[in-house]
């Protein structure tokens, strides 16, 4: 049999940021109730880890050690700068309306950036900031 040097293509398919929070249940329920994610699972009892998902986006929560506060990038960078997750979406305006109706803390409404991305920034209940973005060329005017 002839030997082949066929190499399998390796592709990265997604990323799941992990936020360290004081209470993984509170975090997961917020993402479900306010941001429209579904809770995938909790681990251990009481829970020390949780996973939520919306479409193909997953976010994980790990329980912080007692007394350790969340450390969002915006706090570490100062002046409210910094994002903790950048999430691509197919259509930003309906998402903006949905999250606004659910009572999400919208830090920045949909805005067209100089780099041609149409973005919205939302802050969760522990201060982590999510940027929802779409390629502006995909937006109908």
Reported pTM: 0.88
**Rounded CA Rg of the chain:** 18
- Residue range 15-64 forms a domain whose CATH class is alpha beta
Q: Where are the domains of the chain?
A: 15-64, 72-141
d(CA 1, CA 7): 18
Peptide bond into 46 cis (omega under 30): yes
Residue segments in the chain with a per-residue pLDDT below the cut of 70: 1-4, 79-80, 138-141
What is the pLDDT at residue 140? 59
What is the pLDDT at residue 6? 79
Order of strands, sheet of 129-135, starting from the edge strand that comes earlier in the sequence: 85-88, 129-135, 117-123, 105-112
Residues 6+ apart with CB under 8 A from 54: 35, 36, 37, 38
What is the pLDDT at residue 73? 86
What is the pLDDT at residue 81? 75
Residues 6+ apart with CB under 8 A from 96: 106, 109, 110, 120
What is the pLDDT at residue 13? 87
Fold of 72-141: 3.30.720
What is the pLDDT at residue 137? 78
Question: Does 15-64 match 72-141 in CATH topology?
Answer: no
């Amino acid at each position: 049999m002839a030997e082949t040097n066929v190499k399998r293509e390796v592709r990265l398919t997604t990323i799941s940021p992990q936020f360290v929070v004081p209470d993984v249940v509170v975090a997961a329920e917020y993402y479900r109730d306010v941001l429209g994610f579904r809770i995938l699972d909790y681990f251990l009892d009481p829970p020390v880890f949780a996973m939520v998902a919306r479409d193909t986006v997953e976010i994980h929560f790990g329980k912080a050690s007692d007394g350790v506060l969340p450390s969002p990038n915006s706090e570490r960078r100062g002046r409210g700068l910094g994002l903790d997750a950048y999430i691509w979406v197919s259509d930003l305006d309906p998402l903006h309306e949905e999250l606004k109706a659910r009572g999400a803390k919208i830090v920045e409404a949909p805005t067209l950036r100089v780099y041609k991305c149409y973005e919205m920034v939302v802050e969760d209940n522990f201060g982590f900031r999510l940027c929802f973005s779409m390629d502006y060329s995909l937006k109908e005017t």
